Structures are given as structure tokens and as C-alpha cells.
């Protein structure tokens, strides 16, 4: 009787059902995606892909989760609720990707091929290719979708692409080995991985107005969902720092070993951070500073927490 | 399951390579360095495993005893350079760049770059099976490359450096002329590109094949039995290829891992066993010279056998 009661109680509990609180992690080093149950911190399954998945973006209508498999030259379209692959589209070297805020455009960087491609988001047709040297890494958009900004890792520069004219507006030097780039309060923030800071850049002409120290190997920047906190991962120091998004004042620095890379935010306030060199995803509780890491595949890079979890 | 090689590579990268790249302002090489760290870890483990398995075998049942083993030390140097040091890095970087260029060009023209998994979709996700198929295809291509390296005079001159060793041990596998290595790399890469080997599996595949090749060079009386000899290249089988009578443009047992190709194409010789190794026609520097002397002697021999130098004039100069 006790056994039966236990069984009924267990069955009534919300289990790790597909679509409720999943973390999808892109294991760039072993050509798989890890699908994790966020509530229980367990890996539910590994989805094989072809070669080398790096970055992920949700389509404007939220219907598809796009994963760029750069080594395979294909874009994967996943069900964002389950992580299942729905279709594969041949695409040259899709490394990082971003949709324009108005949902009309998709920009894809080809880091290995020194190119940035502009696609029509609805038809996925290539509209324009911009050859940009060298190593175009991350991309972000202006809020009005008029411009896309791309970091050029190999030449220490940032490129501004005018979407309407479909032409490069300017290319400016911003610091050593720029990687992550985001738009915040009318400025561009560029994380300089070959240095210890992010640059605050004027989007009009690429002039660097300010440099904000974060730590060695500043790699990626993320804005918290409430837009109050700016998070920066420092790959060489192995830290994740929280800054006031308005003043850039340091709030706290957290030790996150293993090359912290991409971040996504869970509804409980925790940060899920990929740790490239130790095959783990760290779950950081900013309130306590506690970091709990979960094993995933080799060289985990992009991460997406499913819609239901937000 | 956490991969110990990846963890070791991650540790090497995070504690040594990354701070070093940061210090010298070369962070754009960070991803490449992480890739190399993995191959170096595989390489070190492979050398250690080869040493741990082959050395006892050579002590237990040696084919030959030598008063000293000075000639073997050069082979140790060849092995370390080839498996842990610069070569895996160069191999990875070059292969990766070539694959990016070729696949990008193909996708620009509306073609889908080739991979075994696209040809046989059922392979997707079955890494071990795919790995095995890649290995079989590459071994087949290696058979023909090896056979052709004996066929052409200039190529044989370079390859004869490998055959000149009279003290053949498990270290001898990497004893190659740099030009011969370069040709081998181009050959291997062309095939790897055609079948779409993933860059991160490519050096691992080379290292696995090389472990078996090391074993086949061991100075050990080791046979795999009648059936085993026909399934996998053994030290006994491969020693026949290194025999003094087999040195040159007519040889046998060219297979590196699988003897299937020798059986199929009529070059298998299962009769001879544990013969004396070396190339009697090679100058002494190729056998017992230093690393540099061996490389230089290989070039000289290539020039002679290709007819780039006048042997009659060379003869008069020697007599004079």
C-alpha cells in the first residue's frame, strides 16, 4: 500500500517532461546538443548534429530555434520546446547569428570564411554577402534595425553594416581581439578578449568613448532580463562579473572556471553559463554566489533556456 | 561520461596556453590552441600507451639483439615531433582551413559538401561506426600511397629513409623524410576532404592508425595467427615489408593497418618471417646519421634517382 501511494505521489509530481524548463547546450567539440532538465539538473538526451554547433537564436515569432553548425555548413531549425531538430538548411559557415529587432533580417557571421551574410528572415534567402576581414565573430543590431554591428576578431575592429543601403558604413578599431557586442542605451559595448575591458563605442562613427575594466579575456556581454545588470564573462581570469547597466559600476565578481562563454537567464534568477574547457554548464546563483556545474559534451558554447522556463 | 582527454586538454589550455596567448597578444588563435591541446593530449597518451605495450613486447620476444641502440634514439625524436609537437598543430590548422575553403566554395555554388553521414544518413550519431568506416577508407588510400612511394624512383629515394633503419623498433614508424611526410599529408588530406572527415576527428584518426602502425614496427616475434594475420597487420607481416630483400621498387605487404588490400591486389607475402631489416643500397647516413644528416641524405638520393644530378660526373668527382 505504501509502495502504491509513493508511486501515485511520484506520478503526480511534475517530471522532467519535454518542453518544461529545458536547457539546450551546443557542444561544439563533439557535434551534439545536450538537452538538460533544468529543474532536476539532469541531462535528458544528446542530439547528434553533423560537425560544430556554436551559437543559437530564437526566431522572431518564437516558433524556431536556430542553431548554426559552422563546420557542417548548415543551419538547424529546432523545436524550441523540445530541442528536436525539425529541418536542416545548407548555409555557408554559420558561426554567430542575430535577427533584426523588426524580424525582417537574419545576419550570420562566417568566422572561418571572413564573411557576413544578410538573409531575408522569412524566406531564408541570401540577400547580400559582405566579405569582412578578418574572423567576423559576433553580431548585434541597432534597436531600429537600421544597422548591424560585427566584431572582427582577427583585425581588432568593429564593422557597421547599413541594412537599408546594404553597404558597410564604417570599420573602426576598438581594441584587441573583439568578441561579444551588444547595444545598450544608445551605445555599443564591445568585449575585447585580448584585453581586460569592454569598449563603449559610439554607433555613429565607431569612436571609443570609454573603456570599462572587467577582467582578462573579456569575451561576452549579456543584459539581464530586467535590463538593470550587465554581465561580462572573462575567459582568461575565469570570472563572471556583474555591473550596474546604467553606471557600469562593479556589483560583484564571481569565480567561474573553465572558460566562461555564453549565458542565458533562468526565471529563478540564476545564470546558466557554458564552461568551454571543462565540459560543463555552470548554474550561478547571484544571490549566494554558489556555482553548481552540470556535465555536458565537449567544448559547450551556445546555450538556450526554453521558452516555458522564462 | 566526461572525456579525460578533453579534461586534460582543458586544463592545459586554461592554465598554460590561454594565459600565454593573452600575454603575447595572440588571442585570435585561442580556438586553434584549444584544438591543438586536445591532439597533444591524445598524442602524449598514445606515445605512452605505445611505449607501455611495445617495450615489454620487444624485451620479451625480440627478433634481434643489438650491441647498442644509438640509431633508435633518432627514431624517438621523429616520434615526439610527429605525434605531440608541431605536426598535429600544422595538420589541424591546414586541414581545417582547407576544409573551410572547399566546403564554403561548394556551398556557395549550391552543392552540399560531402560527408559519409550525408551519404549514409543512418550513420548520424553513431560515432564509433562512422569512425571505423573513415579508418577503413583512409587505410585503403594509405595502401596505394605507400605502394606508389615504392614505385617511383624519386619518391622511393625519400621513402628509403624509412627503410634504411637496421634496428627497427616501434619507434621507427615516424622515421620519415619531411618531404615524404608532406606528400603523405597532402594525399591523406585530399581523401579526408573528399569523404568529409570532421576536423576534430581527423588527428584522432591519425593517432589511432599510428598506434597500430607503431606496433607493426616492433622488434618483437609477434604473429596474430593464420586468421589474425589476414585481418590486421602484425609485426611479423610488416617486418617482411622492411626486409633487406624487399627494399626498393618491388616490395610486398604495403598495408598499414589492414592486410586486406595486399591480399586483394596480390602483394601479400605471408611466407617470410622475421627477416633482417634495412636497405643495403642506402648510404650509411640514411641508416645511422643524425636527424639532419638523414634528411639531407634523403634529398641527395632523391636528386640522384630522379636524374637531377649527373651520376657519371658525380662518379668522376669521387674518383678524382
Closest residue, chain A, to B25 (C-alpha): A194
Say yes or no for a CB contact (<8 Å) between B30 and A193.
Answer: yes
Of B3, B19, B108, nearest to A298 by CB-CB distance is B3
pLDDT band at residue B42 using 50, 70 and 90 as cut-offs: confident
Say yes or no for a CB contact (<8 Å) between A30 and B96.
Answer: no
B113: chain A residues, CB-CB within 8 Å: 72-73
- Angle (CA) A68 A69 A72, round 5°: 145
Q: Is B198 on the interface with A (CB under 8 A)?
A: yes
Say yes or no for a CB contact (<8 Å) between B198 and A71.
Answer: yes
A95: chain B residues, CB-CB within 8 Å: none
Across residues B12-37, what is the average pLDDT? 92
- Grid cell, residue A198, equals 569592454
Across residues B59-71, what is the average pLDDT? 89
Of A177, A238, A257, nearest to B27 by CB-CB distance is A177
B38: chain A residues, CB-CB within 8 Å: 29
A238: chain B residues, CB-CB within 8 Å: 14
Say yes or no for a CB contact (<8 Å) between A238 and B14.
Answer: yes
Percentage, residues of chain B above pLDDT 90: 49
Using CA of residue A55, residue A110, residue B34, residue B116, what is the dihedral sign?
positive
In the block, cell 553533423 appears at A50
Q: What residues of chain B, 77 to 96, have a C-beta less than 8 Å from chain A?
A: 96
Q: Is A176 on the interface with B (CB under 8 A)?
A: yes
How high is the pLDDT of residue A310? 40
Judge contact between B294 and B74, C-beta under 8 A.
yes
Cis geometry, peptide bond prior to residue B149 (ω within 30 degrees of 0): no
Closest residue, chain A, to B121 (C-alpha): A50
How far apart, in whole angstroms, are the C-alpha atoms of residue B120 and residue B140? 19
B contact test, residue of A88, A91, A178, A194 with most B CBs within 10 A = A194
Residues 6+ apart with CB under 8 A from B265: B143
Least trusted range by pLDDT, from A77-91, B17-31, B99-113, B249-263? B99-113
Full-model pTM:
0.81
Say yes or no for a CB contact (<8 Å) between B104 and A73.
Answer: yes
Closest residue, chain A, to B125 (C-alpha): A48
What angle separates helix B291-305 from helix B153-163, to the nearest 10 degrees? Answer: 150
SS3 assignment, position A259: coil
In the block, cell 642506402 appears at B282
Minimal CA separation from A257 to chain B, in Å: 9
Q: What residues of chain A, 283 to 302, have a C-beta less than 8 Å from chain B?
A: 295, 298-299
Of B2, B26, B118, nearest to A295 by CB-CB distance is B2
Percentage, residues of chain B above pLDDT 70: 90
Say yes or no for a CB contact (<8 Å) between B10 and A259.
Answer: yes
pLDDT at B58 over 60: yes
CA atoms within 13 A on the CB side of A45: 11
pLDDT, tens digit, 9 for 90 and up, residues B86-142: 666 676 677 777 877 787 777 777 777 778 887 888 887 777 788 888 889 989 999
B9: chain A residues, CB-CB within 8 Å: 277
Minimal CA separation from A6 to chain B, in Å: 31
Q: How do the pLDDT tens digits run along chain A, 310 residues long?
A: 444 444 444 334 443 333 359 999 999 988 899 999 999 999 999 998 888 999 999 999 999 999 999 988 899 999 998 899 999 998 889 999 999 999 999 999 999 889 999 999 999 999 999 999 889 999 999 999 999 999 999 999 999 999 999 999 999 999 999 999 999 999 999 999 999 999 999 999 999 999 999 999 999 999 999 999 999 999 999 999 999 999 999 999 999 999 999 999 999 999 999 999 999 999 999 999 999 999 999 999 999 998 543 4
Closest residue, chain A, to B124 (C-alpha): A48
| 3-state secondary structure labels for all residues of A206-232 | CCEEEEEECCCCEEEEEECCCCCEEEE
Judge contact between A126 and A117, C-beta under 8 A.
yes
B115: chain A residues, CB-CB within 8 Å: 50, 72
How high is the pLDDT of residue A19? 38
Of B11, B14, B107, nearest to A73 by CB-CB distance is B107
Minimal CA separation from A161 to chain B, in Å: 21
Q: Is A202 on the interface with B (CB under 8 A)?
A: no
pLDDT at B85 over 70: no
Using CA of residue B62, residue B64, residue B70, residue B76, what is the dihedral sign?
negative
Say yes or no for a CB contact (<8 Å) between B27 and A48.
Answer: no
How high is the pLDDT of residue A17? 39
Say yes or no for a CB contact (<8 Å) between A110 and B104.
Answer: yes
Judge contact between B235 and B216, C-beta under 8 A.
yes
pLDDT at B279 over 70: yes
Q: How many residues does chain B have?
A: 320
How high is the pLDDT of residue A206? 97
Q: Is B125 on the interface with A (CB under 8 A)?
A: yes
Say yes or no for a CB contact (<8 Å) between A50 and B113.
Answer: no
B199: chain A residues, CB-CB within 8 Å: 52, 71
Q: Is A72 on the interface with B (CB under 8 A)?
A: yes
Element (H, E) at A9: helix A2-12
B96: chain A residues, CB-CB within 8 Å: 112
Least trusted range by pLDDT, from A130-134, B3-7, B301-305? B3-7
Nearest to A296 by CA among A41, A17, A39, A19: A41
| 3-state secondary structure labels for all residues of chain B | CCCHHHHHHHHHHHHHHHHHHHHHCCHHHHHHHHHHHHHHHHHHHHHHHHHHHHHHHHHHCECCCCCCCHHHHHHHHHHHHHHCCHHHHHHHHHHHHHHHHHHHHHHHCCCCCCCHHHHCHHHCCCHHHHHHHHHHHHHHHHHHHHHHHHHCHHHHHHHHHHHCCCCCCHHHHHCCCHHHHHHHHHHHHHHHHHHCCCCCCHHHHHHHHHHHHHHHCCCECCCCHHHHHHHCCCHHHHHHHCECCCCCCCCCCCCCCCCHHHHHCCCCCCCCCCCCECCCCCCHHHHHCCHHHHHHHHHHHHHHHCCCCCHHHHHHHHHC
Minimal CA separation from A3 to chain B, in Å: 32
B7: chain A residues, CB-CB within 8 Å: 278-279
- Grid cell, residue A77, equals 531549425
How far apart, in whole angstroms, are the C-alpha atoms of residue B159 and residue B177? 7
- Angle (CA) B166 B170 B176, round 5°: 65
Q: Is B25 on the interface with A (CB under 8 A)?
A: yes
Average pLDDT, chain B: 85
How high is the pLDDT of residue B68? 84
Nearest to A28 by CA among A296, A304, A306, A293: A296
Task: Name the DSSP class of A299.
Answer: S
Between chain A and chain B, how many beta carbons pairs sit less than 8 Å apart? Answer: 96
SS3 assignment, position A54: strand
Residues 6+ apart with CB under 8 A from B139: B209, B255, B256, B257, B258, B261
Q: How far apart are the first and last CA of chain A?
A: 39
SS3 assignment, position A282: strand
How high is the pLDDT of residue B293? 95
Judge contact between B100 and A113, C-beta under 8 A.
yes
Closest residue, chain B, to A28 (C-alpha): B200
- Grid cell, residue A22, equals 529545458
Q: Is A282 on the interface with B (CB under 8 A)?
A: no
Amino acid at each position: 500500500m505504501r509502495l502504491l501511494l509513493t508511486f501515485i505521489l511520484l506520478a503526480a509530481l511534475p517530471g522532467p517532461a519535454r518542453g518544461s524548463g529545458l536547457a539546450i547546450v551546443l557542444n561544439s567539440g563533439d557535434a551534439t546538443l545536450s538537452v538538460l532538465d533544468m529543474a532536476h539538473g539532469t541531462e535528458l538526451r544528446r542530439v547528434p548534429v553533423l560537425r560544430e554547433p556554436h551559437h543559437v537564436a530564437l526566431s522572431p515569432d518564437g516558433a524556431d530555434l536556430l542553431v548554426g553548425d559552422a563546420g557542417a555548413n548548415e543551419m538547424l531549425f529546432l523545436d524550441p520546446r523540445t530541442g528536436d531538430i525539425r529541418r536542416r538548411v545548407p548555409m555557408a559557415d554559420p558561426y554567430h547569428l542575430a535577427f533584426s529587432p523588426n524580424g525582417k533580417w537574419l545576419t550570420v557571421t562566417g568566422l572561418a570564411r571572413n564573411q557576413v551574410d544578410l538573409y531575408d528572415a522569412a524566406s531564408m534567402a541570401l540577400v547580400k554577402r559582405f566579405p569582412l576581414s578578418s574572423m567576423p565573430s559576433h553580431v548585434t543590431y541597432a534597436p531600429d534595425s537600421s544597422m548591424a554591428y560585427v566584431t572582427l576578431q582577427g583585425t581588432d575592429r568593429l564593422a557597421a553594416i547599413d541594412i537599408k543601403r546594404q553597404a558597410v558604413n564604417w570599420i573602426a578599431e576598438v581594441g584587441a581581439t573583439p568578441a561579444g557586442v551588444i547595444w545598450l542605451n544608445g551605445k555599443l559595448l564591445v568585449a575585447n578578449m585580448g584585453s581586460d575591458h569592454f569598449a563603449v563605442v559610439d554607433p555613429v562613427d565607431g569612436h571609443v568613448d570609454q573603456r570599462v575594466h572587467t577582467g582578462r579575456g573579456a569575451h561576452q556581454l549579456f543584459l539581464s532580463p530586467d535590463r538593470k545588470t550587465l554581465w561580462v564573462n572573462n575567459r582568461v581570469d575565469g570570472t563572471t562579473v556583474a555591473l550596474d547597466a546604467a553606471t557600469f559600476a562593479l556589483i560583484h565578481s564571481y569565480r567561474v572556471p573553465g572558460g566562461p562563454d555564453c549565458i542565458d537567464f533562468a526565471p529563478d534568477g540564476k545564470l546558466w553559463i557554458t564552461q568551454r574547457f571543462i565540459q560543463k554548464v555552470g548554474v550561478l546563483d547571484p544571490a549566494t554566489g554558489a556555482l553548481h556545474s552540470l556535465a555536458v559534451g565537449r567544448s559547450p558554447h551556445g546555450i538556450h533556456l526554453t521558452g516555458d522556463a522564462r | 561520461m566526461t572525456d579525460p582527454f578533453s579534461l586534460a586538454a582543458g586544463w592545459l589550455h586554461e592554465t598554460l596556453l590561454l594565459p600565454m596567448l593573452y600575454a603575447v597578444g595572440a588571442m585570435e588563435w585561442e580556438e586553434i590552441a584549444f584544438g591543438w591541446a586536445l591532439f597533444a593530449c591524445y598524442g602524449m597518451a598514445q606515445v605512452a600507451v605505445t611505449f607501455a605495450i611495445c617495450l615489454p613486447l620487444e624485451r620479451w620476444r625480440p627478433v634481434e639483439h643489438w650491441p647498442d641502440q644509438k640509431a633508435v634514439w633518432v627514431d624517438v625524436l621523429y616520434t615526439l615531433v610527429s605525434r605531440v609537437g608541431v605536426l598535429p598543430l600544422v595538420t589541424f590548422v591546414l586541414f581545417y582551413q582547407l576544409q573551410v575553403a572547399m566546403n564554403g566554395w561548394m556551398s556557395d555554388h549550391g552543392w552540399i559538401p560531402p560527408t559519409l553521414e550525408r551519404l549514409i544518413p543512418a550513420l548520424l550519431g553513431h560515432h564509433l561506426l562512422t569512425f571505423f568506416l573513415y579508418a577503413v577508407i583512409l587505410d585503403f588510400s594509405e595502401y596505394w600511397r605507400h605502394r606508389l612511394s615504392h614505385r617511383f624512383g624519386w619518391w622511393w629515394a625519400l621513402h628509403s629513409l624509412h627503410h634504411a633503419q637496421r634496428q627497427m623498433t616501434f619507434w621507427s614508424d615516424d622515421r620519415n623524410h619531411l618531404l615524404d611526410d608532406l606528400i603523405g599529408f597532402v594525399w591523406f588530406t585530399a581523401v579526408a576532404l573528399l569523404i568529409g572527415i570532421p576536423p576534430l576527428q581527423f588527428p584522432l584518426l591519425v593517432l589511432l592508425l599510428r598506434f597500430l602502425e607503431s606496433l607493426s614496427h616492433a622488434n618483437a616475434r609477434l604473429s596474430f595467427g593464420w586468421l589474425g594475420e589476414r585481418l590486421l597487420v602484425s609485426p611479423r607481416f610488416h617486418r617482411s615489408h622492411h626486409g633487406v630483400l624487399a627494399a626498393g621498387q618491388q616490395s610486398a605487404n604495403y598495408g598499414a593497418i589492414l592486410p586486406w588490400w595486399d591480399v586483394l591486389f596480390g602483394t601479400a607475402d605471408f611466407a617470410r618471417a622475421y627477416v633482417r631489416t634495412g636497405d643495403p643500397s642506402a648510404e650509411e647516413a640514411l641508416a645511422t646519421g643524425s636527424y639532419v644528416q638523414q634528411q639531407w641524405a634523403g634529398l641527395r638520393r632523391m636528386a640522384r634517382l630522379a636524374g637531377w644530378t649527373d651520376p657519371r660526373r658525380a662518379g668522376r668527382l669521387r674518383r678524382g
